[in-house]
Amino acid sequence: MKNDKKYLFDNPNNVKRLLHILYACCAILVVLDFVIHRHTLHDWEKLWAFYPLYGFIGCVVLVVIAAWMRTFLMRPEDYYDNPTETDLHNDSLDNNMLNKKGEHHVDD
């Protein structure tokens, strides 16, 4: 099936428009902070733009830490499907020993 139809986000201007709407919403929400009176339960909530900053910084920290976790947690996709390197190593070692002797041990 050939699909030549132009879709919503094939046009980069539409992506830009969406992002501008997002920026505008964010700006309005910060301004609303000064307009709407909050019933705060906690001192932290009274800080200027506490929720926007917490959301933004929290997410950046989350992604930075997660990306760093990749450095020591990431393995190939078939990691659990394959036997470990050490196993292979052991097997080949045993075979070599047997070949040298040229005979079969009763255990094997």
Partner 1 sequence: MWMIELPPFVPFFLGALILLFTRGMLRSAIMIAIPILSAMHLMMVPEGIHLQFTFLEYQLTPYRVDKLSIMFGYVFHIAALIGIIYSLHLRDTMQQVSAMLYAGSALGAVFAGDLLTLFVFWELLAFTSVFLIWARRTQRSYDAGMRYLIIQVLSGVILLVGTLFYAHENNTLAFGYIGLDSVAGWLILIAFGIKCAFPIAHNWLTDAYPEATVTGTVFLSAFTTKVAVYALARAYPGAEILIYIGAAMTCFPIFFAVIENDLRRVLAYSLINQVGFMVVGIGIGTALAINGAVSHAFNDVIFKGLLFMSMGAVLQMTGRINGSDLGGLYKTMPKTTILCIVGAASISAFPLFSGFVSKSMVMSAALEEGYDWVWLMLLFASAGVFHHAGIKIPYFAFFAHDSGLKANDPPNNMLLAMTISAVLCIAIGIYPQALYSLLPYDTGYNPYDATHVLAQTQLLFFSALAFVWLNLKGLYPPELRSTNLDFDWVYRRAVPNALQKVFSVIWQVDRSLRDALKLKLNLYLSYFSGKNDRLSILLSRNYPSGSMVMWVAVVLATYLLLSFI
For residue 100, the minimal CB distance to partner 1 (Å) is: 16
Q: Which of 11, 17, 22, 96 binds partner 1 (CB under 8 A)?
A: 22
Q: Which of 46, 89, 101, 105 binds partner 1 (CB under 8 A)?
A: 105
The residues, ordered by sequence, that sit 6+ positions from 108 with a Cβ below 8 Å of its Cβ are 98
Spatial CA neighbour of 94 closest among 105, 80, 82: 105
Spatial CA neighbour of 52 closest among 17, 25, 19: 25
Name which of residues 74 to 93 contact partner 1 (CB under 8 A).
74-81, 84, 86-87, 90
Quick one: CA torsion of 86, 91, 94, 99, rounded to 10 degrees? -140
Contacts with partner 1 by CB under 8 A lie at 1, 3, 5, 7-9, 19, 22-23, 25-26, 29-30, 32-33, 36-42, 44-45, 49, 51-60, 62-67, 69-70, 73-81, 84, 86-87, 90, 105, 107
